[in-house]
């Protein structure tokens, strides 16, 4: 848990899944934990690479959601990852507190959660004396949700969504936040949300500068 929270974002999904069974683990859960330790042994020389070269000083976020990703209670899973000067500074994998009734609702909720975290991070880095190099950026691979956020008249699939989640529309319309489409292959948050192929996993690590030291 300490490694996952502090220095190893690539463990977020696996550790978050097995920790749910910590009070009453079965054989398959112990096997999963052993697999995690094997992965750690094989990647002990991997780490977050901080560069001396100055890049974009803005906080940039990658977000993703997996509809009904938690098979035990059919809740969707949420993940987001934020970088500063291209390096990861914050990441999280969590099960959504509400049961989403559709993929659209699940994805809409993760955008709002990530936006709240992004605003807090932006305020933090400003207090540290790091001036932001432009509007706050969030990258997502769901074009339909981005359209829903930007176009308030598009509401056929969102009438049931809790009003409190529509705060994201105000942030986008006031240009405080820029929600941009990114191809799935370039979404670093994919590895935090669900199972991915080895090549996709390595590509996600490269996107956030986690390399062999």
Q: What confidence tens digit (pLDDT) does each residue in 129-139 have? A: 887 777 788 99
DSSP 8-state assignment for residue 161:
S
Q: 34 pLDDT exceeds 90? A: yes
CA distance 169 to 151: 8
Q: Which contacts qualify for 67-70: CB closer than 8 Å, 24 or more apart?
A: 67/100, 67/102, 67/103, 67/106, 67/107, 68/100, 68/106, 69/95, 69/193, 69/194, 70/95
Mean pLDDT of 166-170: 76
pTM for this structure?
0.78
Domain ranges of the chain: 2-212
3-state secondary structure of 67: strand
Q: What is the mean pLDDT of residues 73-85?
A: 84
Percent of the chain with pLDDT over 90: 6
Tokens for 46? 């991997």
Which one, of 60, 93, 50, 92, lies nearest residue 75 by Cα? 93
User: Residue 157's pLDDT is what?
Assistant: 56
Most confident of 119-128, 139-148, 164-173, 189-198: 119-128
For residues 72-82, give the mean pLDDT. Answer: 82
Higher pLDDT, 182 or 1: 182
Q: How far is CA 155 from CA 69, 98, 104, 138, in A?
A: 25, 20, 11, 22
Secondary structure tally for the chain: helices H, strands E = 8, 7
Kindly report the length of the chain: 213
pLDDT band for position 177 (cuts 50, 70, 90): confident
What gap in Å lies between CA 43 and CA 213, rounded to an integer? 10
Tokens representing 121 are 């991070």
Q: Residue 149: is its pLDDT beyond 90?
A: no
Check the CA dihedral 29-30-31-33 and report its sign: positive
Of 110, 119, 173, nearest in space to 145 by CA: 110
The predicted pLDDT at position 71 comes to: 67
Class of domain 2-212: alpha beta
Out of 9-13, 34-38, 138-142, pick the least confident: 9-13
C-alpha radius of gyration, the chain, whole number: 18
Q: How confident is the model at residue 9 (pLDDT cuts 50, 70, 90)?
A: confident
Interval 57-63 mean pLDDT: 88
Round to whole Å and give the CA distance between 191 and 148: 25
pLDDT-derived band at 160 (thresholds 50, 70, 90) equals low
Q: Is the pLDDT of residue 186 over 70?
A: yes
* Selection from 132, 212, 213, 131 nearest residue 178 by Cα: 132
């Amino acid at each position: 848990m300490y490694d996952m929270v502090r220095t190893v974002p690539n463990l977020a999904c696996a550790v978050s899944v097995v920790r749910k069974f910590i009070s009453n683990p079965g054989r398959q859960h112990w096997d999963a934990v052993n697999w995690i330790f094997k992965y750690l042994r094989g990647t002990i020389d991997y780490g977050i690479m901080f560069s001396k070269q100055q890049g974009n000083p803005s906080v940039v976020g990658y977000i993703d959601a997996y509809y009904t990703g938690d098979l035990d209670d059919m809740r969707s899973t949420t993940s987001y990852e934020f970088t500063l000067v291209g390096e990861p500074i914050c990441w999280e994998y969590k099960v959504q507190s509400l049961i989403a009734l559709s993929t659209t609702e699940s994805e809409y909720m993760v955008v709002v959660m990530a936006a709240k975290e992004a605003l807090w991070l932006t305020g933090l880095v400003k207090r540290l004396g790091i001036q932001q190099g432009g509007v706050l950026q969030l990258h997502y691979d769901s074009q339909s949700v981005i359209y829903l956020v930007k176009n308030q008249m598009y509401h056929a699939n969102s009438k049931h969504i809790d009003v409190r989640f529509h705060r994201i529309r105000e942030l986008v319309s006031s240009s405080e936040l820029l929600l941009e489409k990114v191809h799935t292959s370039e979404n670093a948050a994919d590895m935090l949300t669900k199972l991915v192929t080895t090549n996709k996993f390595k590509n996600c690590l490269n996107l956030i500068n986690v390399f062999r030291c």
